[in-house]
Amino acid sequence: MPCGVWETGRNRLGENNSFYGKQHTDETKRKISDKNKEQHKGKTYEEIHGIEKAKELRELRRQTRQGKTYEEIYGVEKAKELREKGRQMRLGRKCSKITRIKMSKSHEGEKNGFYGKHHTEEAKQRMSQKRLGRKQSKRSNEKRSKTLKGTRRGANNPAWRDGKSFEPYGETWTLELREQIRKRDNYVCQMPSCEMVQDKRPHDVHHIDYNKKNDNLLNLLTLCVSCHAKTGIKRKMWTYLFQVLQEIRLCHDKELDMI
């Protein structure tokens, strides 16, 4: 750089600069921005600033934005616009299997931003309330079904109890016995808060202690299909609940006999 040019530039620093204390208007800023965009269109940081300067600028940009949201960086309106623009760009785009694996591994363990953290009870409650009444689309149900198909069979199922469901029933487990239990329970599901009346499909008859060969009348009660499915897990809880219900029934029957 010629000496005269350097001297001239140095004399225009600070208060010596004619633009000192002034600011560009929004319109002027927009014009400058449009001109720079046109001038640098299709070029990388390296092509515009050189490799070293580009590296420095990228690191500075990363540091100034680290831990900040779009709203904090650009403001609410601009952030909304950028998010929508990004969404439109990604529509219809599918990542390859290799890319998905790479993305998954990049967030595993300590690399995950939520690693070692836990949701507060308040946050859990908010998420629960937000999901209330929400129904999965048919497409989502089909995808989940396809993903889980065959993965929860046998010992892989969380409700698996060493093949207990395949154990044979006792000799007294007959159609007549089951109908007798349903009739005793007035063809109503005995699950508290359910009380569904039997329709075309007969209600199930459940063994309270989960022993298929114990066909004692006090060990059997009527449940609808939906409620019967719930008893596959937390068996100790259901056993205790139904035993209490049967004791209440027994006391009630005795009181009626005394009248």
DSSP collapsed to 3 states, 113-130:
CCCCCCCCHHHHHHHHHH
Inform me whether the pLDDT recorded for 164 exceeds 80. Answer: no
Instruction: Please provide the distance, in angstroms rounded to a whole number, between the alpha carbons at the two ends of the chain.
Output: 116
Q: What pLDDT was estimated at residue 259? A: 62
Q: Percentage of the chain surpassing pLDDT 70?
A: 91
Tens of pLDDT, residue by residue over 122-160, are: 999 999 998 888 888 888 888 888 888 877 777 777 777
Report the alpha-carbon distance of residue 49 to residue 40 in Å, rounded: 11
Give the start-to-end residue ranges of the domains of the chain: 27-87, 171-258
Tens of pLDDT, residue by residue over 38-86, are: 888 888 888 888 889 889 888 888 888 888 888 888 889 999 999 999 9
Tens of pLDDT, residue by residue over 200-235, are: 889 999 999 998 889 999 999 999 999 998 988 888
pTM as predicted = 0.44
Tokens of 146: 């396809």
